Chains A and B, each alone.
Chain A
Amino acid sequence: MPVVALRGVHAELGARPVLRGVDLAVRRGEVVALLGANGSGKSTAIRTLIGQVPATAGTVELFGTPRHRFRAWARVGYVPQRAGAAGGVPATVAETVASGRLARTRFGPFRAADRAAVHRALGLVGLADRAKDTVTALSGGQQQRVLIARALVSEPELLVMDEPLAGVDLASQEVLATTLRQLVASGASVLLVLHELGPLEPLIDRAVVLRDGRVVHDGPPPRTADGSLPYGHEHHHPHAGDGADSRGLPIR
C-alpha cells in the first residue's frame, strides 16, 4: 500500500487547469523528488495532496485512505513553501514548533512529553539553543529549519516538503540532508518539491518530473545528455529564479 497515491488528478487555480491527470505514488521508506519548471504544477500537486487545493477529478489517498476521510494527520509532517516563517506578531522558535504538536495534542493539554518533543525536534535541525529566540532574528536557512522542526515534532511517518532548499544557506542545506538521512533510516517516507537536488541528491530514490501539469518522467533522478548528473554538489546557489531547466533537465 503506497503512503501517497495520486491517480489521474486534475486541479485548477482560478479557472486555469494546472494539473491534467497526475499519477504519483510514494511507497513506504521511499524518498521521491517532484521536479519541474516554474508553473509545471509541482507545488499544486503537493497542495492537492494536503487538501489546500481541491482535486477536480481523480483520487488522492494518504496511507490508503481517501484524503477527505483521512484523519490521522499526526502521521504527516508538512513544510510549506515559505519566504519567512513569521506572522504579524513575534513568536519564538519553540512557540512556532509547538504548533506542529497540535496534530497529536489536538484540543487536549500540552504536557511535559510534548515540550520534550519540541526540544527533540529542534535538536534534530540543530537549533536547540535558539528555542527562545524570535523567529525573525534567524537567517532564512534557519527559519526553514524551524519549519522542518515544526513538521517533525508530531513524529510523522511521511514528510511532505515544498521547496525546502529555496533560499537556504549551505550549512542549513547540510543539516537538512543529515536530518532527512536519519528520518529515512528510521523508515519514514519523504515527498519533496525541488528545483535542484543539491546535497539531497544521494538521498533521492526516485524523481517525478512534471511539465504542464502532466508527468513526463518517473524513475531515477534525470541525467544530462553527457551522462553526468545535472545537479553537481557545486550547485548550491540559493536563487530559485533560474529554474531547473537551465541545468539540462528534459522538461521544456
Chain B
Amino acid sequence: MNLLDYDFMRRALLAAVLVGITAPAIGIHLVQRRQPLMGDGIGHVAMTGVGLGFLLHSSPVWMATAVSVLGAVLMELIRWYGKARGDIALAMLFYGGMAGGVMLVNLTPNGSNANLGSYLFGSLTTVSPADITAISILAGFVILVTLGLRRQLFAVAHDEEFARVTGLPVRALNLLTAVTAAVTVTVSMRVVGLILVSALMVVPVAAAQQLTRSFRATFVLATVIGVAVALGGTTASFYQDVPPGATIVLLAIGVFVLLTALAAPLARRRARAAAAAVSPEAAPLAERAIPAARSTADGVGA
C-alpha cells in the first residue's frame, strides 16, 4: 500500500510540506518578539471564519483567511493603543472568535460541530483540490514575505525602538508580520488544525535554537524540522489512523526534547572554548580599534 497512490494523500503531503515551511518561517519572528502565543490567538479567531464559510457555503479556507487577517490587524491595533487594558481586549477577541465559530456552525442547516472538528484538529482526507490551490497561493505569500523581508522583519522584531531610528516603517512591518501569521494559520489549519497551529510555529523554532547560535541557522533548521515532522506526522496518520495534527505536534515536541538533550554537552564545549578565548582578549583592544576607525571616520565626515 503506497501512500502516493492516493490523490488525497498526495495533496495532504504537499500541504504538509507547505505547512512545515511556513509555520516556523513566520513563527521565528513571533518568538523573536516574545509573542509566541500570537498564532494561538489567531487560530481562535479563525474559527469564526470557518463558521462563516459553512453558513455562507463558501470556501472555509478563504473565509478563515479573511477573518483571521482582520483579527490579526485588530490584535496589532490593540497592541498599539490598548496599553494596560490590551490583555482584556485580546481575551475578548480570542474567545469571541472561538464562540462565534461554534455558534455559526450550529446555525448552518445540517451543520454540526463534527464538521468543525476537521478544522480544529486537522484531517487529511478532507483536503480538496480547491483547498490545495488556496493553500499553495497563501503559502507562496508567506514564503515571499519571510524570505524577502527577513532583515527588516528581524530588525523590527529584535528591537522595535531601534528599528524606528533606522527609518523603517515599523508599524507597517508589524502589521505585515501579523497578517502573515494569520495567513499561515489558514495554510496550516487543514493539516494541523486551528487548535495546534501555534505549536508548529513555535516548537520547531524552540527545538532549533537548542543547537544554533545565529538567526539564519535557526531559521533554516526550524523549517527543516517543520517539514520533517509535518511529513512524518502525515505519513504516520495514513498508516496508523492517528490524527495528523496531534501526531505532528507530538513529533515536534519529541525533536525538541532530543535536541535539548544533545545541546547540553555542546553548550559545555562552547563555554570552554569561549573561556579559553576570553583571557588574551582585553589587552590589544585599543590597538585593534585604531586602524579600523579611519575608514569609518572618512564616511562620517563626508
Binding site for B on A (CB under 8 A): 47, 50-52, 71-74, 76, 78, 80, 87-92, 95-96, 98-100, 102-103, 105-107, 110, 117, 120-121, 123-126, 128, 132-134, 137, 147, 150, 152, 154-157, 160, 171, 174-175, 178-179, 182-183, 185-188
Given the known inter-chain contacts A89-B209, A91-B214, please indicate yes or no for A156 contacting B300, CB distance below 8 A. Answer: yes
Binding site for A on B (CB under 8 A): 28, 31-34, 36, 149, 151-152, 154-155, 157-159, 161-168, 205, 209, 212-216, 218, 270, 274, 282, 285-286, 288-293, 295-301
Complex Cα spacing A152 to B31, Å = 27
**Interface pair A124/B293, CB less than 8 Å apart:** yes
**Interface pair A186/B300, CB less than 8 Å apart:** yes
Given the known inter-chain contacts A155-B299, A187-B300, please indicate yes or no for A71 contacting B289, CB distance below 8 A. Answer: no
CB of B39, distance to nearest CB on chain A (Å)? 14
**Interface pair B296/A87, CB less than 8 Å apart:** no
**Interface pair A87/B164, CB less than 8 Å apart:** no
**Interface pair B32/A182, CB less than 8 Å apart:** no
**Interface pair B166/A99, CB less than 8 Å apart:** yes
A-B contact pairs, 23 of them (CB 8 A): A51-B164, A51-B165, A52-B164, A76-B165, A80-B162, A88-B34, A90-B212, A91-B214, A91-B215, A99-B166, A102-B151, A102-B166, A103-B165, A107-B149, A121-B296, A133-B274, A134-B214, A154-B166, A175-B285, A182-B289, A182-B290, A185-B297, A186-B298
**Interface pair B288/A78, CB less than 8 Å apart:** no
Which residues of the partner chain A approach B205 to less than 8 Å between Cβ atoms?
A: 89
Complex Cα spacing A183 to B289, Å = 12
Given the known inter-chain contacts A87-B158, A137-B274, A150-B162, please indicate yes or no for A126 contacting B285, CB distance below 8 A. Answer: yes
Which residues of the partner chain A approach B31 to less than 8 Å between Cβ atoms?
A: 88-89
**Interface pair B301/A186, CB less than 8 Å apart:** yes
Complex Cα spacing A88 to B158, Å = 8
Which residues of the partner chain A approach B290 to less than 8 Å between Cβ atoms?
A: 178, 182
Which residues of the partner chain A approach B216 to less than 8 Å between Cβ atoms?
A: 95
Which residues of the partner chain A approach B32 to less than 8 Å between Cβ atoms?
A: 87-89
CB of B33, distance to nearest CB on chain A (Å)? 7
Which residues of the partner chain B approach A74 to less than 8 Å between Cβ atoms?
A: 166-167
Smallest CB gap from B286: residue in A: A178
**Interface pair A78/B162, CB less than 8 Å apart:** yes
Which residues of the partner chain B approach A72 to less than 8 Å between Cβ atoms?
A: 167
**Interface pair A124/B296, CB less than 8 Å apart:** yes
15 additional A-B pairs beyond A50-B161, A137-B213, beta carbons within 8 Å, are A50-B165, A51-B164, A89-B28, A91-B154, A92-B214, A102-B155, A120-B292, A124-B292, A133-B213, A134-B213, A150-B162, A178-B290, A179-B289, A182-B290, A183-B300
CB of A78, distance to nearest CB on chain B (Å)? 4
Q: Which 5 A-B pairs have the closest CB atoms?
A: A123-B292, A73-B167, A186-B297, A99-B155, A155-B299
Complex Cα spacing A134 to B270, Å = 11
**Interface pair A103/B151, CB less than 8 Å apart:** no
**Interface pair A88/B166, CB less than 8 Å apart:** no
Complex Cα spacing A149 to B65, Å = 41
Given the known inter-chain contacts A90-B212, A95-B216, A175-B289, please indicate yes or no for A155 contacting B166, CB distance below 8 A. Answer: no
CB of B173, distance to nearest CB on chain A (Å)? 10
Most buried by A among B36, B209, B214, B291: B214
Which residues of the partner chain A approach B295 to less than 8 Å between Cβ atoms?
A: 120
**Interface pair B289/A124, CB less than 8 Å apart:** yes
**Interface pair A183/B288, CB less than 8 Å apart:** no
CB of B261, distance to nearest CB on chain A (Å)? 18
CB of A46, distance to nearest CB on chain B (Å)? 11
Complex Cα spacing A71 to B175, Å = 21
**Interface pair A102/B152, CB less than 8 Å apart:** yes
Smallest CB gap from B30: residue in A: A88
CB of A80, distance to nearest CB on chain B (Å)? 5
CB of B236, distance to nearest CB on chain A (Å)? 29
Complex Cα spacing A178 to B155, Å = 27
Which residues of the partner chain B approach A90 to less than 8 Å between Cβ atoms?
A: 209, 212-215, 218
Q: Of A103, A132, A134, which is within 8 A of B167 by CB?
A: A103
Which residues of the partner chain A approach B36 to less than 8 Å between Cβ atoms?
A: 88
**Interface pair A87/B157, CB less than 8 Å apart:** yes
Given the known inter-chain contacts A73-B167, A87-B158, A102-B152, please indicate yes or no for A126 contacting B215, CB distance below 8 A. Answer: no
Smallest CB gap from B284: residue in A: A126
Complex Cα spacing A125 to B168, Å = 25
Given the known inter-chain contacts A133-B213, A175-B289, A186-B300, please indicate yes or no for A91 contacting B165, CB distance below 8 A. Answer: no
Which residues of the partner chain B approach A132 to less than 8 Å between Cβ atoms?
A: 213-214
Which residues of the partner chain B approach A99 to less than 8 Å between Cβ atoms?
A: 151, 154-155, 158-159, 162-163, 166
